[in-house]
Amino acid sequence: EVLGIAHEEDIEKSIMDMIKVLDAEFNYREFVTLSELIKEQTPHGIINVYLPLLFLATRKYVTLTQEVLFEEIFIRRGEKLGR
């Protein structure tokens, strides 16, 4: 349980970080691609970006669209984030 909480906090922190990053980006453009957000091309680096995005999408901060699975993902403003 202790571990579980730590884990949750961990996720929430990275979500917050991600919101900051995206806010900055959406200030000057309509969408961001996933590959632009990834700084480190390792599984760890990818997951650190991808997981928070899934949470944000569910919370309707962003919308994720992907034309072909496993290819580029486009990130746009969600209804909660406003314009």
**Residue 13 in contact with another protein, rule: CB under 8 A:** no
The H-or-E segment that residue 31 falls in is strand 31-33
Task: Please answer whether residues 49 and 37 qualify as being in contact, where contact means their C-beta atoms are separated by less than 8 angstroms.
Answer: yes
Q: How far is the CB of 51 from another protein (least distance, A)?
A: 7
Amino acid present at 32: V
Q: Which residues pair with 62 in a beta bridge?
A: 77
Binding segment (CB under 8 A) for another protein, from list 16-24, 25-33, 57-65: 57-65
28 vs 75, which CB is nearer to another protein? 75
The H-or-E segment that residue 37 falls in is helix 34-37
Binding site for another protein (CB under 8 A): 1, 3-4, 7, 34, 43-44, 46-47, 50-51, 53-55, 57-60, 63-64, 66, 69-70, 73, 78
